[in-house]
């Protein structure tokens, strides 16, 4: 592969877009083989579908393509409890007979034990950790792992189809070389696991745009804004059903612009959950592929080292459409709307296009509600006068664990 796809990125951080970025893409050919079970909405096969589209559009030739290493036990224990990691390592469908153990680690129909579960966790997590290392070594400007982004996993339990929180582990790795890391989450579900992990620190800001109100995981109220040193470093943008591109970016762009101004991150992690797209099997938003990808385009324009991760997304054909297009956005490449012929073309009928029409569902987000949300969040951000000073050792080990309180979340109700 032509490793960089074109040369170094430009030094501007003013929001002006630069054409070329060095992009590294992490993909394990085995990732599409994992299977949560019959009828389960989470299907890793969507990662393979995305990869095949990238190949047929010629986008792989514009990136450095890396097969990641499997995450080791000790890598996972940088965040997760040792007994939980040991459980994941030993769990097999045929041996999980103790209901107490299942309850303890929140093993449910949503988070089943399936064949080669631990290897699946090692695969997607290893890719995110390796992506962070790639940024730490300045080998790329943008790194991509569409198999990652499993934002619900907690320190000692599975949650919401997520077992290991690869995002937290990747951010911890980034903090070894970067003073401040921004995490942005555009999945329809609140990024609760990541927010909890960094709720009391000013070195990580978490910003989540999500459906709020009688919706999993039930967290992410606008008043939840951090604690202690982390006060105002957790930003929650609660949204209602049917939000469209225009309404979404009416909030996204001014909020992110203010975040970039006051927090001044050294690296950005963007969780690109595709269940916020129109027509998602489990979602209720009305974003187009272009509207979703505009979040990638906008964050790319600040020219800060950027990690793109996957996440939710349960209408497989739309997930692959979205992440293929967002890869093209990262590369600053236009792709033809009409798809090239490939093995999975039948999934995309009858039009066989990258872009599909949104629905005519009602947008329940009034302009007044959007204005109120924007005003409150911008006011909170204005209380952060400047980027925080960093008074940590040069290479912190897990952020000084005693300085970070893991908030015990209430048991989720789906």
- Give the annotated binding-site residues for substrate: 110, 160, 314
Contacts with 74 (C-beta within 8 Å, 6 or more apart), sequence order: none
CB atoms within 10 A of CB 90: 10
Report the distance separating Cα 355 and Cα 336, nearest Å. 10
CB 142 within 8 A of CB 23: yes
* Strand duo 181-185 + 23-26: pairing: unpaired
Alpha-carbon distance of 127 to 308, in angstroms, equals 11
Catalytic residue among 51, 80, 152, 178: 152
Burial of 248 (0-12, 13-18, 19+ CB in 10 A): buried
Cα 213 to chain centroid, rounded: 21
**Residues in a beta bridge with 314:** none
Query: How many angstroms from the chain centroid is the CA of residue 305?
Result: 15
In 309-413, which residue ranges form alpha helices assigned H by DSSP?
A: 316-331, 367-382
Full DSSP string of 9-37: PPS--SS---S---EEEE--TTGGG----
User: For residues 204 and 233, is the Cβ–Cβ distance under 8 A?
Assistant: yes
Smallest Cα–Cα separation from 186: which of 81, 271, 62?
271
The residues near 263 (Cβ < 8 Å, ≥ 6 apart) are 180, 182, 205, 233, 384, 387
| Angstrom distance (rounded) from CA 48 to CA 27 | 9
d(CA 349, CA 9): 37
Task: Establish whether 152 is a catalytic residue.
Answer: yes
Catalytic residue positions, numbered: 152
């Amino acid at each position: 592969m032509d490793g960089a796809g074109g040369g170094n990125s430009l030094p501007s951080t003013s929001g002006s877009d630069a054409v070329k970025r060095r992009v590294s893409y992490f993909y394990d050919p085995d990732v599409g083989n994992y299977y949560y079970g019959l009828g389960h909405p989470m299907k890793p096969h969507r990662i393979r579908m995305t990869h095949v589209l990238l190949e047929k559009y010629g986008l792989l030739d514009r990136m450095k393509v890396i097969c990641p290493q499997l995450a080791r036990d000790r890598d996972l224990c940088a965040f997760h409890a040792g007994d939980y990691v040991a459980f994941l390592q030993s769990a097999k469908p045929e041996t999980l007979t103790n209901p107490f153990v299942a309850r303890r680690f929140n093993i449910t129909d949503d988070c089943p034990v399936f064949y080669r579960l631990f290897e699946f966790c090692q695969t997607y997590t290893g890719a995110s950790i390796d992506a962070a290392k790639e940024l730490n070594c300045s080998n790329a400007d943008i790194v991509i792992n569409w198999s990652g982004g499993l934002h619900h996993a907690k320190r000692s339990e599975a949650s919401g189809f997520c077992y290991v929180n690869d995002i937290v582990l990747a951010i911890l790795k980034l903090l070894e070389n970067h003073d401040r890391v921004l995490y942005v989450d555009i999945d329809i579900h609140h990024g609760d696991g990541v927010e909890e992990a960094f709720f009391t620190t000013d070195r990580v800001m978490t910003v989540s745009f999500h459906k709020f109100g009688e919706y999993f995981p039930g967290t992410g109220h606008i008043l939840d804004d951090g604690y202690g040193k982390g006060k105002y470093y957790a930003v929650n943008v609660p949204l209602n059903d049917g939000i469209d591109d225009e309404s979404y970016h009416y909030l996204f762009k001014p909020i992110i612009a203010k975040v970039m101004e006051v927090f001044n991150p050294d690296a950005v992690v963007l969780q690109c959950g595709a269940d916020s797209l129109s027509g998602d099997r489990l979602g209720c938003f009305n974003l187009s592929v272009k509207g979703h990808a505009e979040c990638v385009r906008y964050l790319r324009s600040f020219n800060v080292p950027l990690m793109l991760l996957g996440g939710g997304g349960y209408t497989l054909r739309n997930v692959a459409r979205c992440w293929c297009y967002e890869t093209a956005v990262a590369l600053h490449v236009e792709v033809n709307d009409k798809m090239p012929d490939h093995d999975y073309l039948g999934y995309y009928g009858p039009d066989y296009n990258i872009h599909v029409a949104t629905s005519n569902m009602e947008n329940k987000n009034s302009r007044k509600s959007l204005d109120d949300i924007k005003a409150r969040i911008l006011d909170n951000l204005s209380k952060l006068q400047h980027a925080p000073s960093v008074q940590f050792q040069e290479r912190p080990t897990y952020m000084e664990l005693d300085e970070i309180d893991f908030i015990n979340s209430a048991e989720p109700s789906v």
